[in-house]
Amino acid sequence: SQQGEEDPQALSIQEGENATMNCSYKTSINNLQWYRQNSGRGLVHLILIRSNEREKHSGRLRVTLDTSKKSSSLLITASRAADTASYFCATDEGGTYKYIFGTGTRLKVLA
């Protein structure tokens, strides 16, 4: 299995700005998920989007999915210093229960 790619690898923004991260993957999927990880701790689930959905919102988070391009984006609006973390996308490989993680985006929000 091959890892998905995320870009940018690192992103530094000012508090209040929006942050956009992109994820590309290689196989067909049932769903795609976004996770946050603070300082190498456990993963926190943010949002799940299914293959038949194109956009999903949760609070300040907006996720889009384009299955034709095998890509997804995560938008965090009105960012806060507490959003500083690494963000990973994960796809269920070929519709199995095995998740393939992207390379991650390190987001730094400056107060």
Partner 1 sequence: SAVISQKPSRDICQRGTSLTIQCQVDSQVTMMFWYRQQPGQSLTLIATANQGSEATYESGFVIDKFPISRPNLTFSTLTVSNMSPEDSSIYLCSVEVVSTEAFFGQGTRLTVV
Tokens of 11: 């992103």
Task: Work out how close the CB of 42 gets to partner 1 at its nearest, in angstroms, rounded to a whole number.
Answer: 4
Residue 16 Cβ vs partner 1, minimum distance, rounded to whole Å: 28
Q: Is 33 an interacting residue with respect to partner 1 (CB under 8 A)?
A: yes
Contacting partner 1 within 39-98 (CB under 8 A): 40-43, 45, 48, 88, 90, 97-98
**C-beta of residue 6 within 8 angstroms of C-beta of residue 22:** yes
For residue 95, give the DSSP letter.
Answer: G
- For the residues of 7-69, what is the DSSP string, one character each? E-SEEEEETTS-EEEEEE--S--SEEEEEEESTT--EEEEEEEETT-SEEEETTEEEEEETTT
Shorter beta-carbon distance to partner 1: residue 9 or 14: 9
Question: Interface residues with partner 1 (CB under 8 A)?
Answer: 1, 3, 33, 35, 40-43, 45, 48, 88, 90, 97-104
